[in-house]
Structure 1
């Protein structure tokens, strides 16, 4: 998977940097969170962002919240090292309604799909997250979101069932534990 550093400011993989969002990322973030092909799959907590000004407000909220989040929670930009382009976002947050389970989420701009960026960045974030005294991460996907389901599996997550407990939507649930990542690296 390449060299992964601790999440002080960023994680690096062979092709990507996972870093904190910056205010000047608004245009790049809008190419992810302002696109129906991406946002139609997001949970009701995150709708499609209308324009760059609105995206700037969302980013500012994420940036302000980040220092107060208990690791491994947070939101990060995924930047391609070859050209410095922000191609996606990653997050780890508490799943509603009980706020006990931690959700790993990923979003890529459509022109970056199919290159393995989500699974590469996701694996790096999972590896770092398991240094933060947690014992599992979940991902949820709508049953017909085949891209997200495929990414969850490539990250090494196992399907654990279907539920409507999260977001009051029927969701496929995937989980990964530290022992799963140890088995992958053998």
Structure 2
């Protein structure tokens, strides 16, 4: 779903093919890829990242609204610092998962929380009744973001991605 969403410090926007080099610094970083879905492997070159972005861009119109994948750009210098997605959780029927990934050199600056809150607020305006985030039990950073967002812990499961995950949920207030 097409989106351009500003926050105080960030702009959440559609991915572009010329984002490949900057995106590769996110999705090619071992310390980021380690926490993504089990089938994800670090994207080790710009051409491969461009192919991934192309696939994401092409798939966008076919996603169940309001699902999408977006770039996170820092307003002050127009640097691409991360990515977000809102997508259906397996078995891909009704539960929407919010994911975020940031360049390791910008971790700890609140960008994941700021961007995620904006997308959650937007998603609720689109009619979603709840948003989930899942994290591996030892992914302290992701769990901290979910908690800062005010997401409630709803338990632990192995039904998503064939691995044990902490599940967090937020509903509109």
TM-score with structure 2 length normalisation? 0.96
Alignment size in residue pairs = 173
Residue 139 of structure 2 is matched in structure 1 by 145
Residue 57 of structure 1 is matched in structure 2 by 51
Residues 8 and 62 (structure 1), Cα distance of their counterparts in 2 relative to 1, 3 Å cut: closer
Residues 74 and 9 (structure 1), Cα distance of their counterparts in 2 relative to 1, 3 Å cut: closer
Residue 46 of structure 1 is matched in structure 2 by 40
- Runs (4 or more) in structure 1 with deviation over 6 Å come to none
Residue 4 of structure 1 is matched in structure 2 by none
Could you give the per-residue CA deviations for residues 43-66 of structure 1, whole angstroms, max 9, x where no partner exists?
124321121110000000111111
Indicate which of 124, 149, 152 corresponds to 1:130.
124
1:168 aligns with 2:162: yes
1:12-51 aligned at under 5 Å gives the runs 12-51=6-45
Residue 76 of structure 2 is matched in structure 1 by 82
SS in 1 for 2:71: strand
Residues 23 and 62 (structure 1), Cα distance of their counterparts in 2 relative to 1, 3 Å cut: same
What is the CA–CA distance in structure 2 between the aligned matches of 1:45 and 1:125, rounded to whole Å? 25
What is the CA–CA distance in structure 2 between the aligned matches of 1:154 and 1:32, rounded to whole Å? 22
Are the aligned partners of 2:68 and 2:87 in contact in 1 as well (CA < 8 Å)?
Answer: yes
What is the CA–CA distance in structure 1 between the aligned matches of 2:2 and 2:143, rounded to whole Å? 29
How far 1:8 moved relative to its partner?
A: 5.5
What is the CA–CA distance in structure 2 between the aligned matches of 1:152 and 1:19, rounded to whole Å? 22
Are the aligned partners of 2:11 and 2:74 in contact in 1 as well (CA < 8 Å)?
Answer: yes
Residue 112 of structure 1 is matched in structure 2 by 106
Are the aligned partners of 1:106 and 1:118 in contact in 2 as well (CA < 8 Å)?
Answer: yes
Residues 99 and 47 (structure 1), Cα distance of their counterparts in 2 relative to 1, 3 Å cut: farther
Indicate which of 152, 159, 165 corresponds to 1:158.
152
CA RMSD between the two structures: 1.2
Could you give the per-residue CA deviations for residues 60-91 of structure 1, whole angstroms, max 9, x where no partner exists?
01111112223220000000000000000000
What is the CA–CA distance in structure 2 between the aligned matches of 1:99 and 1:34, rounded to whole Å? 30
